[in-house]
Structure 1
Amino acid sequence: MNLLRALLACLLLLPGLLTAAPGPVKKGAVTAELVSHDASIQPGKPFLVALRLTHEEHWHTYWINPGTGYPTSLNWKLPEGFKAGDIQWPVPHVVKDTKGNVTGHGYEDETFLFVEITPPATLSPGTEVTLHAVADWLMCAEVCMPGDAKLELTLPVKAEAPAPNLSVARVFNNAYADLPRPLAGWSLTAARDGAIFTVRLTPAAGTTHRPQDLHLFDRAGLIDYAAPQQIREENGSYVFTLAAAKEGDAAATRLAGVITAKNGWGGTTPSQGATFDVALGAPAAAAQVTGFKSQVSAAPVTGLLGTLALALAGGLILNLMPCVFPVLGIKVLGFVNQAGSDRGKIIAHGLVFTAGVLLSFWALAGLLLVLRTGGAQLGWGFQLQSPAFVFGMTAFLLVFALNLSGLFEIGLSATGVGGKLQMQSGYGGSFFTGILATLVATPCSAPFLAPALGAALSLAAVESILVFTAIGLGLSAPYLLLSAFPAAVKLLPRPGAWMETFKQLMAFPLYATVGALLWVLAAQTKDNDNALLFIFFGLVLVAMAAWVYGRWPKPAARVVAAALLLGGVWLGWPKPAEAAPATASGYVVKWESWSPAAVASARAAGRTIYVDFTARWCATCQTNKAAVFTSAAVLAELEKRNVLLLKADWTSKDATITAELAKWNRSAVPFNLVYRGSAEPIILPELLTPGTVLEALTKPD
């Protein structure tokens, strides 16, 4: 019985004792194998091999630009004198999850990743060579898991030209013919304008083929892989309008990748994919790329029309506010009393009143434009690209949203002032009544004017004035209509509790705007780990200031509210990221994204590796980094040893990181590893000090 147990143990251990497999290796849902088109090789003659990946149904692996996940990699261990080229990637396709959301670029079913191997000319015919490679991939379906395999391929060396390897030659040739290649005669240009790429593909002269279902894949991740691609035919060319990836290299000077057509390219290439690599130019002039200008400008025009429509609706809504609505009918009746039964004069009073309203809004718009100009000259950065400006707008909108919700009230005497407006007489009275109406509406209108204020500080001057004009027209429209049809005053609903409910309801669009601005701030402060957290804390203090202001009307409470408001603005005001600690020679800590492939590649190159499994919600992780990577001694040692720093960010669910943690019998972070040479990595304790990290880096092998 003991002997049987020993034999079983040996059988179970046998797969782990094998360093490489000469045939297919199955890991998870993918089977990997090294194959060669040729049955033998010649000295000095390059030959093709391929990593053959066979996927189970519904599973996929990834292209060089994966979108999500990471691309398949091959790390070679070749005989002396051999050289391996880069992977020649097949045509990718768009990968989607079960809900139809785009998740990346990859491959399913059977895929060949080709590599050209060049042997030395000194090989002796009659011998054999064995090629070793470690393949790493990420396989995904409903879930994702990493896969790897140690593979080998043995080939005889012969003096004569090789015969094909009959077992794989046919599928090998078919797959190789499907590789994307440049399109003969076709031309392609690319330009970038901020967050928009425009690519123009022009067929060769005389080409009648019309490619269908075009899609552009870029190799470097410059284009947002999940965003829809807009493609239009224009003057015989195909024009792509593509959204830039937020994480892409904004300074990139070239765009390279593959364009696919479902029906191929009409004989120019047998593949569905066409490769390209072009310089990124500035936006082309209209004469060079007709329609580029209209394509780019159409969106702002549409956006401006939408903004004007919202501004007009906002002005109309102002009339339903408690400080405006009760005096609406009184003002119109005042026009009637002044003009008697002359309908023309009543309408004239309405028009003059409207002029007063518009003049007030134009004056406000002009004041804001002057402030914007001065701010630009002083370097205040009054624009939506400025985190400080966006934070100020966020706090401003939050305060007035809380006002609409009833947390505090401002302008309680507005209705009383409004009640005196009908005392004015003549056209001059109507004109100044319009001005006063704007002022009276201010306590209620401020929340609705806040988006318009943002527009005035971020749009062009003419567009800003148009926005304020739309608000003024919205506010005065009921007066104009009622001036033309005074009898309709009787149809107005009576003021009542419904107005307070309506006012509170109007707070929620402002809360939504606050959320949108916080989303913008999250992107603007992504390089400063704690900035967004302090922004949230600052807004909490701003909200508390509004609560104190509304809760206690005494002067002392007003002082406390002001202090809380100032404290919230100071705490949340976006500040530049602090300079990273550096050595005397200028070395700073720079983290790269962790992946099994990155670890394997660095180990093959003999580098020391520090891996930090971390998450934003892990307080211990942040404490560890603050304690260790600000240490001058640690920085000096990292620089001296050229340590590769890899961060495995587990803030969001990540199946690959989860699987890697499970491999080390861990299910939580922090978890830190130091790889040195070929030995097993050193596992560091959960709580780190500079001393523990230095000991791991300097420990004798």
Structure 2
Amino acid sequence: MKFSACLAALFGAVFVFLPAAAAPVDAGHARVELISERDAALPGETVYAALKMDLDDGWHVYWLNAGDAGLPPQVIAQPSSDIKAGAIGDIVWPLPHLLPVVEGEIMDYGYNHQVVFPFPITIPEDAMGPVTLDVVADYLICEDTCVPEQARVKLKLETDQAEANIREGELIGKWIAKSHVPFPGEARVLKKDLNWSLSLRLDGGFGKVRSIRFFPFGHDILHPAAQPVELGRHGATVSLSAADMTDVSKPLDGVVVIEQEDGARTGYEISAVEGPPLPDTSGLGPVGGVGIQVAAWKLILLAILGGLILNLMPCVLPVLSMKAFGMVSAVSSGHAGEVRRHGIWYTAGVLVSFGVLAAIIVALRAATGPITLGFQLQNAPVVAILALVMFAVGLWLMGMFELGTSLQNLGSGLADRDGDAGAFFTGVLAAVVGSPCVGPFLGAALGAVMGHSAPVVFTFFLAMGFGLALPFLVLSFVPNLYKLLPRPGKWMDTLKQFFAFPMFLTAAWLAKVLGDLAGSGAVAWTAAGAVAIAFAAWLWQREARLPRILAAVTLALTLFGVTERAMAPAPAIGASSAYAAKYEAEPWSASQVQSLIAEGRPIFIDFTASWCATCQVNKATTLKSKAVHDFFAANDVAFLVADFTRKDPAIAAELARHQRAGVPMYLWYPAGSDEPQVLPEILNQGLVTSLPVNP
């Protein structure tokens, strides 16, 4: 009897110190329990309570922004509760997870399995004894279908002392730690149409990152859209797709969730104001990319090899024809020193141009985020001026005007220097026109080099230029080679005039690119500019001073007028839509890719541009062939075109995600696979028709 009494007293003492929470309530698809970090609290004190929810497998509840569909849980105080609604604070939301509902179309944010929602409560100042927290947990829980559920749960707290509940207190503290904190750095968003770029700057960067995802508080962005991320030395840049009808005047508010390689997740609350990208928030390649792991010396070798192959690209051949004529002219002097100097000046022109290009890329990379090769040909005024320069060079080759005579008339004996200047200018042209032609070996190497420091970027581009200039440099320094060139004669005048036609063809090609960029009006103005340049060249041949002044004025007005017209707003056409219509394809978008993957269709994506000569060759020889057309039709292949003729941040981000710094890029998705195969830059029919349809 005494033993039974002692045992009863012992258990009674234990239950005094057990949590005052009631048993979990089974609401249907979740077990809901109200817990507290304290068993007792003093009047006026604020402590944390929490809803603890254990969900059925496959079911989920929502974050404060549910995404495309859903509702967040609510804690509703009941009339019988001693702790009223005004004493119950906001839920401390744990970091959300992505919940794809329909792949590529509907994305929700929330939680699976178990989740704890902490919230602060304040004990009434006039509490004289135990107080009860009586609330209803109101929530939407979903699997394939959604079910609204409620659970009424209660909690009793003593108020005569402050006493911790160690077990539940640790659990609540753990889930509070899973919430977001204020961002200690700076956030800024660049809003360009519906393509936004969110730059996040934090001194020292984010460490070894596995993924970065932005979760908005509102519906400013398309929730299911991919968010390509590029890292920088002091942060990262996230590419976002804005929703239609978004109020662009408001800051972009939300939580950035950063997952480290060890699985640890950190969330930062941001309010990004509009402005240019923050410095050092890009340039180290995409999250999870291998670009920053490529050894610098391998990149340099690839750059030299790629530069050598660049000599074979169609866009460079017209300039090389002009260089070949210059080399023959230099050989005609009969002096080895003249030939060597010609080769050195040509190489200098190439290297200076590639050095300037590297400087521009490094500067723009720091200021605006990811940069792609060929960006200069996405600028309509640059294309217009290049077309006129090519046309003027053609006129010079045809003999419409001679610069050498005028320079000699200056009385400073510049005949020889004119040859050097011509060689240097030829090198500049080869670099400017050739750089967008990303040949074999250069696609991956250019994507990788963006993961290195500025000195490596400069070295890479100089090595590429050295590879481009190397054949003529070797030819100029090895007498046994240049002596094989034919002897000078009358044929040289004929050859010089013949080389004018590749220049005119290049000008015509650039005019076509200009039309894609700025419309037919810009092409018409450029054609008129070409006539004006021909008129200026005709005037320049006159010995009198007045005609030459008129020629100079005509040239200046032409360049000004054409540049101004080319800067006019471009025709409003959707990205990729023009090319897609031409090649019986669909315009590319990240959401379209996800939809096609969900349908189980194979996908071929052509990242192209009208100024990319390699792209045009691949189209003519492979993508428009009957064999490839029949292969696509027989296997229900979705053919998507991403037209990069104009600057497109979404396409630039996709190129960076696959460690590519320019077009062409070709991706192949087997049926139902979300892992694409990156194809070679040079295609052939056999390669495409042998692609595996199934993973």
TM-score, scaled relative to structure 1:
0.40
TM-score, scaled relative to structure 2:
0.40
Higher relative contact order (CA 8 A, sep 6+): 2
